[in-house]
């Protein structure tokens, strides 16, 4: 179980580093070469951008090896058909897809100062795959608590399941907003608002206002769902997860406000993304545990 949580933790470190590659405009640090870096296995006399990009590739490669080890670990430690095995295999598929999407950014040169709609779409696709990867890794670790499957999942309410859809929408708009902040920096909040209002501004600039508005709405939604769950169950794993959802959501909203007020410095962007990943993971676990709790409740009623 510790190994599975360790693989998840490593990926939680790799993902913000990938965001740092984008925020620091280092995506072209290895040129248009992949998997080589500027045509070399190990770059010689690299520039800072090259070091940043190459480090991300190395850490991503280690993450891939970690997930491959996760599949082997699940195959040895859990019986055939166990959901840990299924989630581990899904994690491997998703991290391979993640690698291909990352390679595509480089090979298609959707890096550095590229402000095309193609890059925005590609980043959104990359982000959704990342969320699914984190979800699969989280469930691999979560399900590994029991070697034999003793809990069956039932139906989960639309309100609880809807948190995942809302989280994906907020994350996608956040990725686009972060790209706009990187490519079109401003010296003050007022200047940023003037940029947003210009009809001649890039779509990345004009869409920046969407994310904070949607984030506030989503934050209120996540908090209301977590509070409702806490009122219905005051103990057990579901209650602890709901409490974490509430705390992480409030922390994320606070970080988002600070990020906006400080004009999105790189450090706050990284923290903001890290908290967003924690919110996503906690929501995935909330949905799963709510489904298990619903199934248990149905069995009690039948009994």
**Spatial separation of the C-alpha atoms in residues 246 and 240, rounded to whole Å:** 10
- Same domain for 107 and 156, yes or no, is no
**Spatial separation of the C-alpha atoms in residues 144 and 126, rounded to whole Å:** 27
Q: How many domains does the chain have?
A: 2
227-231: which pairs have CB atoms within 8 A and are 24 or more residues apart?
228/159, 229/160, 229/286, 229/290
Closest CA to 67 of 46, 87, 91, 101: 91
pLDDT block averages, 10 residues each, the chain of length 303: 95 94 87 85 87 94 97 94 95 96 87 84 93 98 83 78 97 91 82 74 83 96 95 86 97 95 91 96 95 51 38
Tokens coding 83: 């959901």
Q: What is the pLDDT of residue 169?
A: 97
- Same domain for 189 and 276, yes or no, is yes
| Unique residue bearing structure tokens 């909330």 | 286
- Same domain for 91 and 203, yes or no, is no
- Same domain for 169 and 111, yes or no, is no
- Same domain for 223 and 139, yes or no, is no
CA dihedral 93, 95, 97, 100 (to 10 degrees): -140
The CB-side HSE value for 60 (13 A sphere, CA atoms) comes to 25
Q: What is the pLDDT of residue 299?
A: 38
- Same domain for 35 and 128, yes or no, is yes
Q: What is the pLDDT of residue 152?
A: 67
Q: Which residues contact 119 (CB under 8 A, 6 or more apart)?
A: 105, 110, 111, 179
Decide which of 113, 147, 181 is a domain's last residue. 147
Q: What is the pLDDT of residue 215?
A: 96
Q: What is the pLDDT of residue 89?
A: 97
Distances (CA, A) of 217 to 56, 131, 161, 163, 276: 33, 20, 16, 11, 15
Decide which of 147, 166, 183 is a domain's last residue. 147
Q: What is the pLDDT of residue 296?
A: 37
Q: What is the pLDDT of residue 234?
A: 67
**Spatial separation of the C-alpha atoms in residues 155 and 298, rounded to whole Å:** 10
Q: What is the pLDDT of residue 251?
A: 97
Question: Which residue range(s) make up the domain with 65?
Answer: 1-147
Helix 117-143 to helix 158-183 angle, to the nearest 10 degrees?
140
């Amino acid at each position: 179980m510790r190994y599975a949580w360790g693989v998840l933790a490593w990926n939680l470190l790799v993902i913000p580093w990938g965001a740092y590659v984008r925020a620091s405009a280092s995506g072209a640090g290895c040129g248009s070469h992949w998997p080589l870096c500027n045509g070399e296995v190990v770059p010689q006399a690299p520039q800072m951008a090259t070091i940043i990009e190459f480090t991300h590739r190395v850490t991503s490669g280690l993450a891939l090896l970690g997930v491959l080890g996760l599949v082997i670990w699940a195959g040895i430690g859990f019986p055939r058909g166990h959901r840990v095995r299924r989630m581990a295999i899904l994690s491997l598929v998703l991290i391979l897809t993640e690698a291909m999407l990352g390679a595509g950014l480089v090979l298609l040169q959707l890096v550095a100062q590229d402000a095309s709609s193609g890059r925005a779409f590609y980043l959104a696709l990359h982000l959704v795959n990342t969320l699914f990867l984190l979800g699969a890794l989280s469930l691999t670790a979560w399900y590994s608590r029991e070697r034999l499957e003793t809990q069956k999942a039932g139906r989960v309410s639309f309100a609880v399941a809807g948190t995942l859809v809302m989280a994906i929408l907020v994350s996608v708009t956040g990725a686009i907003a972060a790209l706009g902040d990187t490519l079109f920096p401003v010296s003050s909040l007022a200047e940023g608002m003037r940029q947003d209002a210009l009809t001649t501004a890039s779509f990345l600039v004009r869409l920046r206002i969407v994310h904070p508005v949607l984030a506030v709405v989503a934050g209120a939604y996540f908090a209301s769902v977590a509070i409702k769950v806490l009122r219905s169950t005051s103990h057990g794993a579901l209650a602890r997860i709901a409490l974490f959802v509430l705390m992480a959501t409030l922390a994320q909203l606070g970080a988002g406000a600070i990020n906006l007020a400080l004009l999105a410095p790189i450090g706050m962007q990284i923290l903001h993304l890290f908290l967003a990943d924690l919110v996503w993971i906690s929501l995935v676990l909330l949905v799963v545990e709510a489904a298990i709790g619903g199934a248990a409740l149905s069995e009690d009623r039948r009994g």
